[in-house]
Structure 1
Amino acid sequence: MDIREFGVEQWMNAHETSARWNLAETCCDSLTLGALLELAGPGAGSLNDLLALRLDYGEIAGSLRLRRAIAALYRTRQAEEVLVTHGTIGANALVHRTLVGPGDRVVSVVPTYQQHLSIPDSLGARVIPVALRPEDGWRLNLDALRAAVTPGTRLIALSNPNNPTGALLDEDTLGAIVAIARAAGAWILADEVYRGLDAVGEGQTASVTDLYEKGISTGGMSKAFSLAGLRLGWIAGPAEVLRAVSVHRDYDTISVGRIDDHFAAVALEAKDAILGRNLALSRRNRAILAGWIASEPRVGWVPSGGGTVALLAIAGMMDSARFCRELQERTGVMVLPGSVLGVEGTVRIGYACASDVLREGLARLSDHLAAGPA
């Protein structure tokens, strides 16, 4: 199977460990185990509880405790409609490999996380991109989607909130997407790993799997829950899909680690405390970022509607990869070049790091901009 190099991950692998001020990180400021247990409260137990944990495979689909905690994130799903995976990246890959084959028509909303383009392409599918445009405020053009989703379309793939723009699809728009999918008989795969961090309201947008009988939602412990090190994700969707996914999963994952499963359950049972912490952090930092952009004449953006990332347009920047390399070499600040996302002339910033890291990184970015055009 031939597949394109994963642009984002290749860049992160090459540059992340040497960054002093990492503004390319997409997770909310990571928790320590101690901080997790403190947020979870006395009822969560202690590290001593792990001493009796038998390190066998555990429940192959994920522990019932964990699957119940994941199902509680949705309006309509039960534990048997949840399958635990190795991160959201594993969840997305499994859904594509299960549902998509040679000749299938897959419609992908772009820009997006590259999985949703490169995996179906590698499987022999015909991938049709539907582009979000900055002049539309990165809002999805439903007429363009409707034109792309012809009868017999196999799958519509999207991320909500969107990575890398931060654009948010509200429930009314999701309902319109569902109507388009239903008319064509298409599945919808919604990568919802940033769900829970909306810029306004209670912070929790609707999930596709609650709105559509052929809606599949993926999520994980990394972005909104600050626990990327657990490497734990999930698929929420119809039981028939999970049964088919399980066939593929047996060949690569079998099960996730029991320690990861345990702490993910602890975190999700304390979801109000963790999401409260991270929602406050993301909103505070989004305001810091907005204020900085307003002071920088070369920088523009469409304010993000949710999540932890945004695309910044930098006037006069002709080569975003060169810009990012020079920025990191001179200042220690890391951001992601838009070229690896198919959006040249931009950089993607992750703004849900510790607030002092964001402030210092932006100040150094200002110094770099002041030194002259890239």
Structure 2
Amino acid sequence: MFPDIEYLEWITGRPERADHDLGSSDLRRRRPEGEGVVPPALEDLPAPPSDVGLDALLADAYGVGTENVLVTAGATHANFLAVAAAFDGDEEAADDDEESRRERVLVEKPGYEPLTATPQGFGATVDRFRRTPDDDYALDPDRIAGAVTDATRCITVTNRHNPSGRLSDRETLTAASRVAEDAGVPLLVDEVYAPFDGERGDGPLGGPTAADLPNAVVTNSLTKFHGLGSLQVGWLVADESFVERARSVGFHVPGVAGPSVALARRALHDERRRSEAPADADAGRLDGDSRARIAENHDLLASFVADRDDLHGFVAPGCTYGFLAHESADGDEIAEAAWEAGVLVVPGRFFADADRFRLSLGRDPSAARAGLDAFGDVLDSL
């Protein structure tokens, strides 16, 4: 029923085997040693009061009620539940005969493969609307409106865009949500990269959000910006009825583990301390570490691309990854040549554009610099 997710099968184990990891997009932190379970970055952080739940910390960050938050086992789990809830909430379609059921999902292209594979697993047909390199992959609400049909049941976008890193502003997100509202369907906005910037913004976790827009369903996690992927903690933010449908679907699949929730509370409590006391050097250590890495790695990536005449592409301000093209080799040729030299980059076919590849600096700046040097040698050899 559910199709293979070729990207996840391909990437699994490669970051650990690569000499230089320019494929992982999360800001990877040091993992616990041996049989340890507490990430070193969380060891010395204070826990919030025992009566403050993770859902309350998230609700506070987004300025919503706890009834608008569902804690999940990562963003992929949140997206799965969101798509399932979008289908489950279509009461009109459930009353129709099978042939007239609304079962189409509209997803951006290029885009992250699981966002198309999951609705296909539910039996949906996936339609695409384009985000083009001609305008640096900007999100165009008019393109969404032009691709919506009476059979569309969910619209899915990422912000920042994965794989290009383009960040949509509030006005654009508002226009996209109006398209979804007019169509009577949810706008699913995967915001795992929204906080990526060297400077903290005003939104939750320091990035923009669509959480309070009409028909918007927002997902995020502690994996990308915080580098705490081992916790497998994410969340979904939406109106109360949508959250309840997602929660009901969640009973059919495994949920998030209690120890992960406890550790995630530390991370989000640290985040709240940072927002409440931005001048306090001891507050918000995770946030500060991530933003310092983003600022330095963005400059490394932007300079690398600008200095090479054989590469073409857009490096978004404040972002640590980009979707690039080579003058004479396609994405698979680049990725294969790099892998032979111990360098991991991601071919663009996993994002529905085989001509390009994603280059990402998620490791610490010294490792990123060494990786770019090695990758430069690969490009020179072509």
Structure 2 CA distance for aligned equivalents of residues 182 and 306 of structure 1: 31
> Within the alignment, does 1:351 sit opposite 2:354 as a pair?
no
After superposition, the CA RMSD in angstroms is: 2.2
Match among 329, 336, 339 for residue 328 of structure 1: 339
State the partner residue of 1:177: 176
State the partner residue of 2:244: 243
Structure 2 CA distance for aligned equivalents of residues 220 and 128 of structure 1: 26
- Stretch of structure 1 that moved more, 154-163 or 307-316: 307-316
Matches for 1:114-193 after TM superposition, within 5 Å: 114-151=113-150, 153-193=152-192
> Within the alignment, does 1:290 sit opposite 2:291 as a pair?
no
Between the aligned residues of both structures, percent identity stands at 26
Q: 1:14 offset after TM fit, Å?
A: 5.5
Q: 1:148 offset after TM fit, Å?
A: 1.1
> Within the alignment, does 1:72 sit opposite 2:83 as a pair?
no
Structure 2 CA distance for aligned equivalents of residues 158 and 149 of structure 1: 14
Structure 2 CA distance for aligned equivalents of residues 218 and 308 of structure 1: 20
Q: 1:9 offset after TM fit, Å?
A: 0.6
Give the secondary-structure state (helix, strand or coil) at the position aligned to 1:90.
Answer: helix
State the partner residue of 1:258: 258
- Report Cα offsets for 1:347-366 as digits up to 9, x if no partner: 11221310011100110111
> Is 2:109–2:351's contact at 8 Å kept on the other side of the alignment?
no
> Within the alignment, does 1:211 sit opposite 2:213 as a pair?
yes
Give the secondary-structure state (helix, strand or coil) at the position aligned to 1:71.
Answer: helix
Does the C-alpha gap of structure 1 residues 134 and 221 become closer, same or farther in structure 2, counting only changes over 3 Å?
A: same
Aligned length: 348
> Is 1:66–1:265's contact at 8 Å kept on the other side of the alignment?
yes
> Is 1:93–1:115's contact at 8 Å kept on the other side of the alignment?
no
Give the secondary-structure state (helix, strand or coil) at the position aligned to 1:68.
Answer: helix
> Within the alignment, does 1:369 sit opposite 2:379 as a pair?
yes
Unaligned runs of 5+ in 2: 32-38, 89-100, 275-283
Structure 1 CA distance for aligned equivalents of residues 379 and 310 of structure 2: 8
Structure 2 CA distance for aligned equivalents of residues 182 and 324 of structure 1: 41
State the partner residue of 1:87: 74
Unaligned runs of 5+ in 1: 46-52, 54-62
Does the C-alpha gap of structure 1 residues 34 and 163 become closer, same or farther in structure 2, counting only changes over 3 Å?
A: same
Q: 1:121 offset after TM fit, Å?
A: 2.3
Does the C-alpha gap of structure 1 residues 14 and 353 become closer, same or farther in structure 2, counting only changes over 3 Å?
A: closer
Structure 2 CA distance for aligned equivalents of residues 35 and 186 of structure 1: 40
State the partner residue of 2:40: 34
Structure 2 CA distance for aligned equivalents of residues 261 and 200 of structure 1: 27
- Report Cα offsets for 1:20-72 as digits up to 9, x if no partner: 1111111113155333234x3xx439xxxxxxx9xxxxxxxxx9511111112
> Is 2:111–2:352's contact at 8 Å kept on the other side of the alignment?
no
Does the C-alpha gap of structure 1 residues 93 and 308 become closer, same or farther in structure 2, counting only changes over 3 Å?
A: farther
Does the C-alpha gap of structure 1 residues 123 and 44 become closer, same or farther in structure 2, counting only changes over 3 Å?
A: closer
Does the C-alpha gap of structure 1 residues 14 and 322 become closer, same or farther in structure 2, counting only changes over 3 Å?
A: farther
State the partner residue of 2:47: 44
Give the secondary-structure state (helix, strand or coil) at the position aligned to 1:223.
Answer: coil
Output the amino acid matched with 2:369: R
